[in-house]
Amino acid sequence: MATFVVCHGAWSAGWAWAKMHPLMRARGHRFITPTLTGLGERSHLARPDIDLETHIADIVGVLTYEGLEGVNLIGHSYSGMVATGVADRARGRIAQLIYIDAFVPRDGESAFDVLPESVRAQRQSGASSSADGWRIPPGPMPPDTSPDDRAWCEPLRVAQPVKTFEQQLTFRNGPLTLPRQYIYCLRNSPDDRFRVFYERAKSEGWGTHEIDSSHNPHLTCPQVLADLLSAIAR
């Protein structure tokens, strides 16, 4: 049995990984999907000072209070930022770091730093023009998302505190030396914003994998993702 902890993407929460739980349990794994502060069922805690460090602390707290060791830590999308920070802070608890179509920041970079300029400007504008000036409205779901999944997900996606994208990640323990894997979704967004991280992973000798999916394989092809994660854990 392997233990997986998921750092979910922006505007999302642990609920979005519901399809994965029975699949991973059937494969003998423990699969934990905490929700980051200010999102999902914790959206009532949203406030303007929530930042990247808040979300890193959320996941470090799960690892600590659940007594987890040898964790396969997943970072999806925005939460490549979160997972990288957690891997820096709690290295002794992590077996490997698995990015799924995710940002891979270097020391001193924020999510806004690694986004294409046009996307960064759009999200900054969305936050500044929101009712309270500090929430980024949810981005669009991939076009191949099924009508049923849209009906399930769209009412539950909530705006994200802008400081989670603004705050730069600072490594506290030197360069990361943990084993790392990158899963790249082939049917990506028009700007293909995650390709650069996949190419970096290949150039640095990480485990690299391709999946015939758009950005949310946990929604659109969970069986395929569960098989791939099981293989990676082995």
- List the catalytic residues: 77
On the CB side of 109, CA atoms within 13 Å amount to 15
The answer to whether residues 197 and 80 touch, using CB atoms and an 8 Å cutoff, is yes
Strands 160-161 and 71-76: unpaired
The answer to whether residues 153 and 16 touch, using CB atoms and an 8 Å cutoff, is yes
Other Cβ atoms within 10 Å of 68 Cβ, number: 17
- Widest pairwise Cα distance in the chain: 47
Rounded Cα distance, 149 and 92, in Å: 37
Torsion of CA 179, 37, 29, 213, to 10 degrees: -70
Q: Computed over its alpha carbons, how large is the radius of gyration of the chain?
A: 16
The answer to whether residues 81 and 73 touch, using CB atoms and an 8 Å cutoff, is no
- Quick one: how far is CA 51 from the chain centroid? 15
Beta-bridged to residue 38, according to DSSP, are none
133: which DSSP letter?
A: S
